[in-house]
Amino acid sequence: MNIELGKMNHLRVVKHVDFGVYLDGGEEAGEILLPSRYVPENCQPDDELDVFLYLDQEERLIATTLTPKAQVGDFAYLKVAWVNQFGAFLDWGLMKDLFVPFREQKMRMQQDKSYIVYVHIDEDSYRIVASAKIDRYLQTPAPDTYQNNDEVDLLIVQKTDLGFKAIVDNQYMGLIYDSEVFRPLHTGDKVKGYIKQVREDGKIDLVLQTGNSAEQVADFSEQLLNYLKENNGHSDLNDKSDAQLIYQTFGVSKKIFKKGVGDLYKRHLITLENGLTLTHKA
């Protein structure tokens, strides 16, 4: 049996004790304590539980049924719970906070502020720790298996002069250019995005909405038509309106908005004077 420190494991209950239950960690780990506060009701020997394994205050292997905000191998946006002379401690959803040594901080972390970090196991101490020096843990270059318009998971890292840096699928760094941002984004946001292109240098350009799907445009065209019918046949928005205002109103990018407007206009269902206005045909 291979157990994984800092990750969820599926383990069998061996026996009950006054202070919890012991789980079978195999020959290498032996029996692992799951304290009483985490033991499910009516738990019996031979039941199998999904537990997270970490080290307690005495550096002993221990289990919990709580799911932390991040596991080993994850990038995450976590808040500093407290700081001492050795480093910072992050709230990651467990009783024991996650340690960030000073050497793993880009700048001195401050209590109650949040930072993007990478969770890993320190090779020297075998403790679960975090690092704010995330670049060393990103994979480069991006694989050529990504295709344009592939859907990906994004973690927003920071605003730059060009746009927003984002971690792609918990592995690669990508960029959403300002021209592609049509809704508010903040560090730590987890959003869906799409591959715009993987460049020859392996860097990834991203978009938040493809706008290339005929089905997307058709769906929005009907949404826009219904909106106009429900709002006295008019909207002040047009193709020169602010992208964030369009998103706040319709939940779509400016690109899809313009295509939907073009679709209704070609079908002679709207006019474009002073905004959008339904025709008698609609």
For 163-174, the pLDDT digits (tens) are: 999 999 999 999
Q: To the nearest whole number, what is the mean pLDDT of the chain?
A: 92
Per-residue confidence at 76, pLDDT binned at 50, 70, 90? very high
* Cβ neighbours of residue 68 closer than 8 Å, sequence gap 6 or more: 52, 54, 92, 93, 94
Torsion 158-160-162-163 (CA) sign: positive
User: What 3 state SS string does 227-273 have?
Assistant: HHHHCCCEECCCCCCCHHHHHHHHCCCHHHHHHHHHHHHHCCCEECC
Predicted local confidence at residue 144, as pLDDT: 81
Predicted local confidence at residue 213, as pLDDT: 65
Q: Which of 80-84, 257-261, 274-278 has the highest mean pLDDT?
A: 80-84
pTM: 0.82
- Joined tokens for residue 219: 């769906």
pLDDT at residue 186 above 70? Answer: yes
pLDDT at residue 200 above 90? Answer: no
* Cβ neighbours of residue 161 closer than 8 Å, sequence gap 6 or more: none
Predicted local confidence at residue 211, as pLDDT: 59
Classify residue 180 by its DSSP letter.
Answer: G
241-259, pLDDT tens digit by residue?
888 888 889 888 888 888 8
Instruction: Please state the rounded mean pLDDT for residues 107-120.
Output: 98
More confident of the two residues 260 and 131: 131
Instruction: Please state the rounded mean pLDDT for residues 105-133.
Output: 96
Strand duo 276-278 + 20-24: pairing: unpaired
Residues of the chain with pLDDT > 70, as a percent, come to 98
Burial of 59 (0-12, 13-18, 19+ CB in 10 A): exposed
Instruction: Please state the rounded mean pLDDT for residues 2-27.
Output: 95
Indicate the SS3 state at residue 210: coil
